[in-house]
Amino acid sequence: MPRIWMDYCTVMTKRRVITDCRRVFDRALRALPVTQHLRIWPLYIKFVTSHDIPETCIRVYRRYLKLNPRGREDFVEYLIKIDQLDEAARQLVTLVNEDMPVSDKGKTVHQLWAELCELISKNPKKVHSLDVNVIMRQGIQKYSDQVGVLWCSFAEYYIRAGQFERARDIYEEAMISVKTVRDFTQIFDAYAAFEERNTAARMDNLAEPPNEEDELELEWLFARFEHLMARRPLLLNSVLLRQNPHNVHEWLNRVALYEGHPEKQIDTYLEGVRTVKPKMQVGKLCSLWISFAKFYENADQLDD
């Protein structure tokens, strides 16, 4: 019985009369038991994807996925091809949430996550039905070896959406939360490149001659970029201390970075001696105490 319907559908497909052919496929699915539907569906999918009827194809695919969820990756590829990126992102979320070790096309969950994040970050105006904040943060928590890439994708989403201040907030949050030098370097370089591009674009768009307001804005952009570059050593030191808060050498480096700010140096010394555990120390804790004492000695504050 399915053989007859398959031949009938094949003949109708060659006639290229879309509505009549679709109705024949639907009749075949109604006539055959559900256990034989997988004999018809590949022909049906091939037929609808070969014509420029995206709405019909999406509806047919959704019906097909109820019977065979394994076809979801093909559906995602088709959606990306026809630029239906919001629906593609939703289907990718479904694939990721299935939490299979490897998909039918050999992709790991990590690869699917990477595809989803790339799709979202590069198309903020086309992907609008998902909570991007939740998705990105889930990925950051789940894949510790790709934290830098995911934070950069998160910020890129807001950059492409034109929300520059939100992008800066993401970069700042990333820099104070990552725990490896590799991730920090990746994020900092992306942040610096963003600020540099933003400043260059503003310079190109200056009026001739520039008015006072434009000059003030440009000075502010330059100052912000310089401030970011000046903070790099301290931010990097914070990353190293998050890696190992018992590293005496890094605490001493932090004190040196605050040269000229005695109050911050004192706070750093106090935080260091409270944090470093003698049994877990890297370096000698006594050297931190000695340096702390010499600080007061050099400042002629022996009573303190």
Could you report the per-residue pLDDT of 161-193, keeping only the tens digit for each? 889 999 999 999 999 999 999 999 999 999 999
Number of folded domains that form the chain: 4
Residues 173 and 238 in one domain: yes
Could you report the per-residue pLDDT of 67-97, keeping only the tens digit for each? 888 889 999 999 999 999 999 999 999 888 8
Cβ-proximal residues to 227 (8 Å cutoff; 6+ apart), any chain: none
| pLDDT computed for residue 84 by the predictor | 92
Tokens, residue 59: 């509806």
Residues 177 and 138 in one domain: no
Domain that holds residue 290: 244-303
In order of 27, 217, 275, the CA distances from 199 in angstroms are 62, 10, 40
Rounded CA-CA distance 245/232 in Å is 19
Residues 134 and 171 in one domain: no
Rounded CA-CA distance 8/19 in Å is 15
Rounded CA-CA distance 37/129 in Å is 32
Please tell me whether the peptide bond between 209 and the residue prior to it is cis, using omega within 30 degrees of 0. Answer: yes
Average of per-residue pLDDT across 155-159: 92
Global model pTM greater than 0.85: no
Task: Count Cα neighbours of 19 within 13 Å in the Cβ-side half-sphere.
Answer: 0
Domain end among 223, 242, 261: 242
Closest by CA to 14, choosing from 41, 51, 42, is 51
* 152 found inside a domain: no
* 60 found inside a domain: yes
Q: List alpha helices for 143-284, DSSP H.
A: 147-160, 164-175, 181-204, 212-243, 248-257, 262-275
Average of per-residue pLDDT across 268-294: 86
* 159 found inside a domain: no
Residues 76 and 56 in one domain: no
Residues 25 and 57 in one domain: yes
* 161 found inside a domain: no
Rounded CA-CA distance 304/296 in Å is 7
Q: What's the angle, vertex CA 109, arms to CA 41 and CA 74, rounded to 5? A: 20
Residues 232 and 177 in one domain: yes
Place of tokens 């990756």: 73
Residues 233 and 176 in one domain: yes
* 40 found inside a domain: yes
Contacts 24+ apart (CB under 8 A), 207-211: none
Residues 106 and 60 in one domain: no
Could you report the per-residue pLDDT of 101-133, keeping only the tens digit for each? 777 788 888 888 888 888 998 999 898 888 888
